[in-house]
Chain A
Amino acid sequence: MVASPYLPAPRYARWRKWKSIAVTGALVACALAVIAPLFLVIFFLVARGYSSLDWNFFTQLPKPTGEIGGGMANAIVGTVTLLAMAAAIGVPIGVFGGIYLAEYGSDRANNWIRFAADVLNGVPSIVWGMVVYLFLVVPFKGFSAYAGGVALGLMMVPLVMRTTEEVLVLVPQSYREAALALGITRWKVIVVIVVRTALKGIATGVIVALARIAGETAPLLFTALGNSFWSHNLKEPISALPLQIFAYAISAYDDWHRQAWAGALVLMALILALNITVRVLSRDRKIAP
């Protein structure tokens, strides 16, 4: 029987098979290395924190030093408050900045703005905390929820701006032209046609940014500071989950360590929920018909 001309020469065939197995194996190992840490984190948080999650954890204030029990109700509310304030600052600036980049700016100006946004994105979070401390905490003589919200909000701006720009650019030019041809003025075209078409993408960007900043601790250390009680005034220090976790984790009490794990689990669950929302939103994110 004559060997098919399409078969490799026999002495190469075996070597190639081994190479193939080795490379495939390396790729699978790398892929697993990406997923494994996530499962490790979730596994440890659940293992250590789940037992401490009870009704009290979500409804009570932290107990004074030495007493067993209590919860992180104020820290959970504080985190939500800080995220809302951050969004109030970061979303409008980021979205309008993104609209400028996508619809108005000249190439030259855009290059500089993009470069600045990318640099801002890389600014270490503790630096944000120090800068806001200098400009909002020192002059007003006190740590406050406002300062914390501003620090987190400023961190959101470059993230929201770049994603907004990216999704606006994806909106086909033909929709802009069709709307302009109806005699609609340019800013209405941008708001009603372009932004509305890209709204899901913008929402996705905002949630990704919120998930990014929800766990930030460093910028809050110098600004929101933390609080063992309910804060009734945004001019006062406010508690937040990462701050409370930090304070409890470095403490000397087993009960506080236990609660720090529970707090970490809640924080992780919040961030996971935000990311799942993003997945759902972007699942059918198609702009063109």
Chain B
Amino acid sequence: MSTLPETARASATEPIRASATPATAPTAGVPVEAEEIAFDVRNFNMWYGPRQALIDVTIRIAARKVTAIIGPSGCGKSTFIRALNRMHDMTPGTRLEGSVKHFGEDLYGPGVEASVVRRHVGMVFQKSNPFPTMSIADNVLVGLRLNGVRDRAVLQARLEESLRMAALWDEVKDILNRPGTSLSGGQQQRLCIARSLAVQPETLLMDEPCSALDPIATAKIEELIQTLREQFTVVIVTHNMQQAARCSDRTAFFYLGRLVEFGDTRDIFTSPKNPQTEAYVSGRFG
């Protein structure tokens, strides 16, 4: 974890190919000093058994902005955001090095509990997964209830607030007792977003949240992401480059487990500095 001596880290940070950007370069061009940082990730390496999935990732993700993570399949982008709320804890055989700080707190520090981390860093998954045994209301409130909130007034208020933030309230306010699984795919995904927001995280991670949705449902989620950024930090993994271009402020391009380029979305898509980024965003591979 973060206890590794500096010398050992240094050897791991050696770029293997000339095209791989050195650890400090990706943040260049972004005025990092002026803004609040949500995630400060330094020299992060991760392995699944013997296979290294992330190689020396250093990135500073701004608070209350939408950061898109793009890259071809297998480039480590999902692995990366799952490291941001310690979802890898459940997977046997994973190993990691380096540090991840969320608003200054070390997420992998000694004594830090993954369940507490995840209350601050929520996650929405590729496939909508409302709990099949629960109503719409119970789905939204399950996180609060199981974390010990009993006060009915608080629960009721949070239910409406979360569903409103997820742009779902008007559609479900009269059917709150119906099963969550009775909604359409797009509604289910917004229900999952509401469920994540109900525990009041500072940050929301989204792992390809639209890849199973039709264009109209996708547009709604993208619109929702725009409103969420006023209050939350959003990190979204996407296969869809138009989506990254449409709804993110910053874009990070991952390739073969490395962070190749990171900058303002406009720059990444119009004037990328790295030839691999350019090849990917112009659709020549990936």
Contacts and interface: CB of A to CB of B under 8 A. Distances in A.
Interface of A: 172, 174-186, 188, 192-193, 196-197, 199, 287-289
B87 to A, nearest CB: 7
Interface string B133-155: 10000000011001100000000
A196 B132 CA distance: 10
B195 interface: yes
A265 to B, nearest CB: 39
Contacts of A176: 90
Contacts of B87: 177, 180-181
Main secondary structure of the interface of A (DSSP, over half): helix
Contact of B143 (A175, A184, A186, A199): A184
Contacts of B90: 176-177, 180
A41 B199 CA distance: 59
Contact of A192 (B116, B122, B146): B146
B129 interface: yes
A182 B122 contact: yes
B132 A288 contact: yes
A182 B118 contact: yes
Interface residues of B, number: 28
Given A183-B143, A188-B146, A192-B146, A178 B132 contact: no
A178 B115 contact: no
Interface string B46-61: 0000000000000000
B76 interface: no
Contacts of B116: 183
A172 B118 contact: no
B277 interface: no
Given A181-B125, A186-B115, A197-B132, 19 more contacts: A178-B125, A178-B131, A178-B192, A179-B142, A180-B87, A181-B85, A181-B87, A181-B123, A181-B196, A182-B122, A182-B143, A183-B116, A183-B119, A184-B147, A185-B115, A196-B133, A199-B133, A288-B132, A289-B130
Considering the complex of A and B, which 8 residue pairs feature the smallest CB-CB distances, nearest first?
A: A183-B119, A182-B143, A289-B181, A181-B123, A183-B118, A174-B129, A184-B146, A178-B129
Nearest to B113: A185
Contacts of B85: 181
Interface of B: 85, 87, 90, 114-120, 122-123, 125, 127, 129-133, 142-143, 146-147, 181, 192, 195-196, 199
A183 B132 contact: no
B199 A183 contact: yes
B132 A180 contact: no
A17 to B, nearest CB: 49
Contact of A175 (B114, B118, B131): B131
27 contacts: A174-B125, A177-B87, A177-B129, A178-B131, A180-B90, A180-B118, A181-B87, A181-B118, A181-B122, A181-B125, A182-B143, A182-B195, A182-B196, A183-B115, A183-B116, A183-B118, A183-B119, A183-B143, A184-B142, A184-B147, A185-B115, A185-B146, A192-B142, A196-B133, A197-B132, A199-B133, A289-B132
Contacts of A177: 87, 90, 123, 125, 129
B122, B146, B192, B196: residue with the most chain A Cβ atoms closer than 10 Å: B146
A196 B85 CA distance: 25
Nearest to A197: B133
B129 A172 contact: yes
Contacts of B130: 289
Contacts of A183: 115-120, 143, 147, 199
Nearest to B85: A181
A222 to B, nearest CB: 43
Contacts of B127: 174
Contacts of B199: 182-183
A130 B97 CA distance: 57
Contacts of A178: 125, 129, 131, 192, 195
Contacts of B125: 174, 177-178, 181
A56 to B, nearest CB: 46
A176 B90 CA distance: 10
Contacts of B147: 182-184
Nearest to A196: B133
A196 B133 CA distance: 7
A181 B142 CA distance: 12
A178 B196 CA distance: 9
Contact of B132 (A181, A182, A192, A287): A287
Contacts of B122: 181-182
